[in-house]
Chains A and B, each alone.
Chain A
Amino acid sequence: MNQMSTARATESNTQMVGERTTRISARKVNIYYGEKHAIKDLSIEIPDRSVSAFIGPSGCGKSTFLRAINRMNDTIEGCRLTGEVRLDDKNIYDKDVDVVQLRSHVGMVFQKPNPFPKSIFENVAYGPRIHGLAKNKTDLEEMVVASLKKAGLFEEVKDRLDAPGTGLSGGQQQRLCIARAIAVNPEVILMDEPCSALDPIATARIEELIDELRQNYCIVIVTHSMQQAARVSQLTAFFHLGTLVETGDTNSMFTNPRDKRTQDYITGRFG
C-alpha cells in the first residue's frame, strides 16, 4: 500500500533532493587494510529517500567505504577504521552497537547475485526468520510476498516459490537478492555494483526498481557506469585514490564538475 501511494510522487523527485534529511553522515573516516591506507579523511552526508551513487576508478575505495556503512569490513582481517559513521544520530562504530542489529537496518546487495542455494521462498524468508519478525507462518508468507512484490519479482516467480533461487536468470537472482534485503525492513540499502554481472535489459529492470525503492529507502549504490549513476542517482560522490574528490547533485556534477579530476573521469580521460 505504502508503495502505491509513493509511486505517484516519482515524477516530481528531482526537486526534492535538497529538502531531504540526512540519514548517514561520515566524519573524518580513515580506513586501513593492514598497512594500506584505503580511505583518507572522508566526510560525506547521504540524504534519506534518495539514491546516492559512488563513482570512481577501480581501487579508489568506493566499495570499501560502502562496506563500512554496515560494517561488512569487520569480516576482513586487518581492516581498521577511525573517525565516525553516523546512522541518524548514532555512531555505528560505538562500542554498544551490535553489528547484527545494525545490518538489519542497513541491508546490502552484492556485485554478483548471491542467492542462497535454497528455494526462492526460503531466500526471502531467511532474514525475517532469524530476526523473529514474523509471528506465524501466514505472517511470514505475507512478508515474503510483499518483499517479492516490492522487488518486482513476484509476478515472475509466484508459481514456483519452491524452486531453487539459483535457477533464476541473473537479473531475477539480483532482484531476489534485493527482495531478501528489504524483507528485514531496513532503512538503508547498500548496493555494490548490482548490475555489473547483468545484461542491459536486466540492468534496466534493476535501475527501474532502484528508482521505485528510493521512495521508501535511503539507497547507496557503487557503480562503474557513469551513465547508470546519471540515470538513477540524485547525489553523486566521486572517489579517487582513497579520497572523496567531489560530491554533489548528480545533474550539476555531470554537467558542471568543479574538480579537474572529476571532469577527466566523467569525460573518460582516465579510469
Chain B
Amino acid sequence: MIELSAKGSNGLLAKRYASEKRFRAYGAIALALTTIFLGFLLYDIISKGWPAFFESHSSLEMKIDPDKVAAGDIANGDFAAIIKQSVREQFPDIESRADKKTLASFISQAAGDELRNMVLANPELIGQTVKVDLLLSADADLYYKGLIETDDKLLLDKFSAKLPVTQSISWRFWTNGDSREPELAGLLGAIKGSLFTVGIAIFIGLPLGVFAAIYLEQFARRNRWTDLIEVNINNLAAVPSIIFGLLGLAMFLNFFGLPRSAPLVGGLVLALLVLPTIIIASRAALRAVPPSIKEAALGVGASKQQAVFHHVLPLALPGILTGTILALARAFGETAPLLMIGMVAFIADVPQSPTDAATVLPVQIYLWSDLPELAFKSKTAAAIIVLIGILMLANALAIYMRRKFERRW
C-alpha cells in the first residue's frame, strides 16, 4: 500500500510545514504590531484633538453703558470694560485685586469684539440691556473640559456656579485664521493655503508630468539621452524634499523675485517635487496598456498621436489619476520645502489669493506644536486629525477613480 500520510516522508515534509508555519507566524506578528501602533497613534491623536473641536461659552445680561460707548463712535467703544464690569458685578464677594484680574481673564477678548460687532450692526442697543454671549478663554475652557488642574480652581468653580458654562461646536476652528489666543486660533488660513498650494501644484505638475510621460513612453526614441533623462527622473524622485525647497528659494524667490511665503511659490516647488512621481506613475500606467491596442489603432491607419490619444491614454488614465492623487496626497503633507520659502511665518489673515502670505496644514501643525500654551496641544492634535482626514479622502478618491474608470480588455 502507498503511504500517503506525512509519516511516510523522510522528515523533509515536516521541515517544510514547520517553515511555512513560522513564516505565517512572522507575518501575523508583523501585522499585529502595525495594527497596534496604528491604533495607538489614532487613539492618542483623536483623544487629544477631539476637545479642540468644541469651545466653552457662558452668557450674561448686561447694559450697554452709554458712558463707555459713544453713539457716534461705536468702533472705539470700550466693550471689554462693559463685559469686565458686568461680570464683576455678578461676584460681589470677590474683592482682592488679583482675584478680580483672574476672573476677568476667564473671558476671551473675543467676547468684547463680538459685542462691538453686535452693537455696530444695531446701534439702538446702546443704553439697553442685552444678553451677551461670552466665549471663555482657553485656560478656563480646558478646565471645564476637565483637561487641566489649576490654582484658580475655586474661582472657576464659583464662576460656573453663577454663570452656567456650556460646550458647543467650535466653528471658529474652521472659520478663523491663526491667532496668538488659542481659543481664537483656527485652521481656515492653513486649509486655504494648502488648497491654493496643492491646486497650483496640480495645475502645473499634472499636465507637465503626464505629457512628459507620454512623450518619453510613446514617442521618444530610446537612446543615450532618453536613458540619461530616465535615470535622472528616477533619482529626482528620491531627492530629499528640502532640496526642492532650497531650489525654490534660489530660483523662484531670489532669481525671479516672486513673493515670499506665497502659495504660488509653494505650489511651484511642490509641482517640481511631485513631477518625477507623476511621470513615473504615468509611464507605468501607459506601459500597462496592452501594446495590441496601439497596434490595432496603427493597423487601421491611425497616426501615432491618434493611437496614443484615442486609445492608449484613455486606458492609462485611471492609473495616471491614481498615481497623481497619491503624489498630491504626499504634496499635501509636505513641510520641509515650504519652510525654505518662508511659508512658516505666523499669519493671522486668511489668504485670499495665491500671492497672499499663507501657511499650509502641516506647517501649521509644526507651528502650533511649538507653542507653550497648553491649549495649542489639543489644537495641534485636531489639526493632525484634519490633515489625516484630507489624506484619507484623497486616497479614497484614488481608489474610487480606479474602480470607476478601470476597464478590462
Contacts and interface: CB of A to CB of B under 8 A. Distances in A.
Residue picked from B222, B293, B300, B315, most chain A C-beta under 10 Å: B300
Contact of B299 (A101, A112, A181): A181
A127 B301 contact: yes
Contacts of A127: 300-301
Given A166-B408, A166-B409, A115 B296 contact: yes
Nearest to B304: A75
Top-4 shortest CB links A-B: A104-B301, A114-B292, A127-B300, A108-B299
A253 interface: no
Contacts of B290: 114
- Size category of the A interface is 20 to 34
Nearest to A78: B222
Interface in A166-207: 166, 177, 180-181, 183-184
A116 B315 CA distance: 10
Residue picked from A72, A101, A104, A126, most chain B C-beta under 10 Å: A126
A117 B407 CA distance: 7
Nearest to A123: B296
Given A110-B292, A112-B292, A117-B315, A126 B298 contact: no
B300 A181 contact: yes
Residue picked from A75, A116, A184, most chain B C-beta under 10 Å: A116
B311 A103 contact: no
Majority secondary structure, B binding face: helix
Interface in B284-310: 290, 292-303, 306, 310
A77 B301 contact: no
Residue picked from B292, B293, B299, most chain A C-beta under 10 Å: B299
A112 B292 CA distance: 8
A82 B302 CA distance: 25
B24 interface: no
B221 interface: yes
A181 B294 CA distance: 14
Contacts of B301: 100-104, 127, 130-131, 184
Interface residues of B, number: 22
Given A116-B311, A117-B315, A130 B302 contact: yes
A70 B300 contact: no
Contact of B297 (A101, A107, A112, A126): A126
Interface string A83-117: 00000000000000000111110011110101111
A181 B298 CA distance: 11
Nearest to B291: A75
Given A72-B298, A75-B298, A116-B296, 19 more contacts: A70-B299, A77-B221, A101-B301, A103-B298, A107-B300, A109-B299, A110-B292, A110-B296, A110-B299, A114-B296, A115-B296, A126-B297, A126-B302, A126-B310, A127-B301, A180-B296, A180-B300, A183-B300, A184-B300
Contacts of B293: 114, 116-117
Interface in B379-409: 407-409
Interface string B216-252: 0000011000000000000000000000000000000
Contact of A130 (B296, B306, B409): B306
Nearest to A75: B298
A100 B297 contact: no
B114 to A, nearest CB: 60
Given A77-B222, A130-B306, A107 B299 contact: yes
Contacts of A166: 408-409
Contacts of B310: 126, 130
Contacts of A126: 297, 300, 302, 310
13 contacts: A70-B299, A77-B221, A100-B302, A102-B301, A103-B299, A103-B300, A108-B295, A109-B299, A110-B295, A116-B293, A126-B297, A126-B300, A181-B300
